[in-house]
Amino acid sequence: MTDTATALGTHRVPADLPTRIQHYIDGESVDSIDGDTFDVLDPVTNDTYLQAAAGKKADVDRAVASARRAFTDGQWPRMLPRERSRVLHRIADIVESRDARLAELESFDSGLPITQALGQARRAAENFRFFADLIVAQTDDAFKVPGRQLNYVNRKPIGVAGLITPWNTPFMLESWKLGPALATGNTVVLKPAEFTPLSASLWAGIFEEAGLPNGVFNLVNGLGEDAGDALVKHPDVPLISFTGESSTGQLIFANAAPFLKGLSMELGGKSPAIVFADADLDAAIDATIFGVFSLNGERCTAGSRILVQREVYDEFVERYAAQASRVVVGYPHDPATEVGALVHPEHYEKVMSYVELGKTEGRLVAGGGRPDGFPTGNFVQPTVFADVAPEARIFQEEIFGPVVAITPFDTWQDALALANDTKYGLAAYLWTNDLKGAHNFAQSIEAGMVWLNSNNVRDLRTPFGGVKASGLGHEGGYRSIDFYTDQQAVHITLGESHNPTFGKN
């Protein structure tokens, strides 16, 4: 990266950054119809580094019309699965070949540490490759009544999929939706998060080079209340896939209801990591440090509530606080950095308000402010609060930053009650050597995903999603195929028809 970037003091800015980003509609880069733009900020300096086109209803209408034409008149939905698969594999190849540049831009735009951004770029390629393979291997049900009837399921793409993506790991999460939506033959309109539009702007060139027909992919930048709202309410968009906070998910649910749209929503989380006295403490501490401080703490599945059995509680807190204090905060481009800059000053202020609140709700044992040597930008020390009561706001509410609450428990029953004592239900992590007990405990946790003695190691074939306020529906593997297709049952009579007779006499 040293030959593609220039240093400004100790902050590195990638070379050849654009100064403006446009929409991408029907194979062309275009400005907003009204010419409006919005500022995009560098999270290290909070200076504006580019202007992005600010989409409104008219721009969304234009993008949806393009996607609708490509669906009704174009070749993409009518291609054989193998033909679409080849295009998706080319997309994956291109993404893999450019992973260093993608990571550089993603790190700069979002504040993620460069080493973690590089991993996200590689995961994006794998998402396309996974769904490229899955769509070819897809099989559907067939049932027969011998000599009388044959029944089979015919899958069909639904139409224009509206994809609304968040600002944390944006490129990878866009691929998580684009891959299955395109693999199944739909056309799409993508509305990326306004805080981080830089890496999303690269999709157009990647898709063109891979041979995706014009109109199949369209992108409209803009604010959620403008472009996102118009996409959700558009009558020609039958599907909305959204990843973001729960309050926005509630609004989308309400606005989509009059149209009876298909919805897949992966929302917020306040996931517990439960450490029992018989756990391998070395592994549990490493995993729970990584689980809340990786990706700057800006991750939906972060184990931001750590519940520790009282027999090992004091030792765990002491060791955890000491290790958290050694987590390296630094500039996003530095390979040594483990926590970079939060994405935006608005989010920084939110996280810091929780840090100040936490000082009244728990015992501060690590962090608690801005790190030394970073007088500007959205930098927060990895912050640890111990002895946090379950009614505390830092226990109940999603902070989405490098802040963790640690709470003691006595029995398995206590741990389960604490684990389920929030409105969220996305993920949970168990650390114990009692695997029989762990399996039984896992089934009682109100969470869409549970990891036993593991930290968020995912298999793309498994469902991803939450319960309660953490989401609606699941994606991943065949669940994604289900969401992006209509399943039409076809019934064929093989022998004589067996119809009741009405009206002969």
Which residues are annotated as catalytic? 266, 300
Query: Phi/psi of residue 289, each to 5°?
Result: -65, -50
Whole-angstrom distance, CA of residue 403 vs CA of residue 350: 12
Query: Phi/psi of residue 57, each to 5°?
Result: -55, -40
Whole-angstrom distance, CA of residue 113 vs CA of residue 296: 8
Q: Which amino acid is at 277?
A: A
Whole-angstrom distance, CA of residue 75 vs CA of residue 226: 31
Of residues 16, 335, 351, 393, the one with CA closest to residue 168: 351
- CA quadruple 31, 33, 36, 41: dihedral sign: negative
In the chain, what is the straight-line distance between the N-terminal and C-terminal CA atoms, in Å?
Answer: 87
Whole-angstrom distance, CA of residue 200 vs CA of residue 202: 5
> Is 310 within 8 Å of 408 (Cβ atoms)?
yes
> Is 271 within 8 Å of 302 (Cβ atoms)?
yes
Q: Which amino acid is at 184?
A: T
- Region of 214 on the Ramachandran plot (φ > 0 left; ψ -120 to 50 alpha; else beta): beta
Whole-angstrom distance, CA of residue 66 vs CA of residue 56: 16
